[in-house]
A = this chain, B = another copy of it.
Amino acid sequence: MPADDEESWVIRLLAPPAAALPPEVRVGIGDDAAVLADGRVLTVDTMVEGVHWDARSAPADVGAKLALVNASDVAACGAVPTLALLSMSLPNPVDRAWVEGFAEGLREGLAACGAALIGGDTTRSAGGVVVSLTMLGQLQAAPLLRQNAEVGDDLWVSGTLGDASLGFATSAPEGLRALRRPTPPLALGPALAARGLSRAAMDLSDGLATDLPRLCAAAGVGAEVWPEALPASDELRASGADPIPHQVGFGDDYQLVFTALPARHDDLLALGADLGLRLSKIGRVTQGPEVTLRGHAWPRSWQHFPGPQ
């Protein structure tokens, strides 16, 4: 992932003005996924050897993760994954065992999220392996959009934060599992949308410190996060490490951050119980543009596996 300002710059450079989009497009570039008028959503995510994984990674984990992180974007809009297209760039000669392992993991990941692979393209790579998945999904209710966050909303997150970070830093077993095979709460986004409990959500792929300002910028709001309310796993609590940098600075959580009216607090706890998911209120939406972590500075985002340069 390039530094955040570079990503924003590339995306701004490429995004056509909203007025230039055809009427079938409700939301274009800038949310977790594009949203069409017929309720389809579309997203694409890419993983790069030497950036998102390295030789220590099992190829099946890479395949499964590629499916799951795309499904996480689809579900963050409130949609259910349906279809996928894969593009693979492979060095010559092809490492067949690696590709077979990757394909097995991709099948597992697609099965776990209920999406069918309908298209594929393979090209030769001049460097390492690059895999890119486009995923489609279907909404059954109004989409959850970053731009819908409103001043006065509560901020919630699902699950626990910082586990993949701890796994990366210390090889803690649960954390390594979270890093290698994320388990995004795919039922949550569609349920929030169906029950009308939230209008704005985003999945945490780059860490709360990077992702929450993106959500706030899309809505023209700010946010205040209460560090003591950030959910931590028993493993992270027991590690002795300061949990905050892990919880907000690394990413790969693939949990949802979402907004809700304060009056829906009990309904959200009931939904969490129904889905078997921990849901935690972690702060509130404020007048913009500041996004603050009460009593702390936001840690700088961490890089993934260091690459050349």
Contacts and interface: CB of A to CB of B under 8 A. Distances in A.
Size category, A interface: 35 or more
Contacts of A85: 34, 42-44, 134
Scoring A43, A103, A130 by chain B CB atoms within 10 A of each residue's CB, the highest score goes to A130
A258 to B, nearest CB: 21
A116 B86 contact: no
A308 interface: yes
Interface in A116-172: 116-128, 130, 132, 134, 136
A93 B106 CA distance: 31
Contact of A15 (B2, B117, B126): B117
Contact of A127 (B33, B82, B99, B128): B128
Interface in A1-31: 1-2, 6-7, 9-11, 13-16, 20-22, 24-25, 28-29
A57 interface: no
A273 interface: no
Contact of A122 (B7, B36, B93, B124): B7
Contacts of A269: none
A52 interface: yes
Interface string A79-90: 000110111111
A119 to B, nearest CB: 4
Contact of A46 (B20, B48, B87): B87
A179 interface: no
A110 to B, nearest CB: 8
Q: How many copies does the complex hold?
A: 2
A99 B50 contact: no
A22 B82 contact: yes
B126 A50 contact: yes
A89 B45 CA distance: 10
A123 B48 contact: yes
B126 A91 contact: no
A303 to B, nearest CB: 8
B48 A13 contact: no
B117 A16 contact: yes
Interface in A52-103: 52, 82-83, 85-94, 96, 99-100, 103
Contacts of A275: none
25 contacts: A2-B90, A10-B122, A16-B117, A20-B116, A22-B83, A24-B82, A28-B116, A28-B117, A29-B117, A33-B119, A34-B118, A36-B83, A42-B118, A42-B119, A44-B87, A44-B119, A46-B130, A48-B124, A49-B126, A50-B126, A50-B127, A51-B124, A51-B125, A51-B126, A87-B87
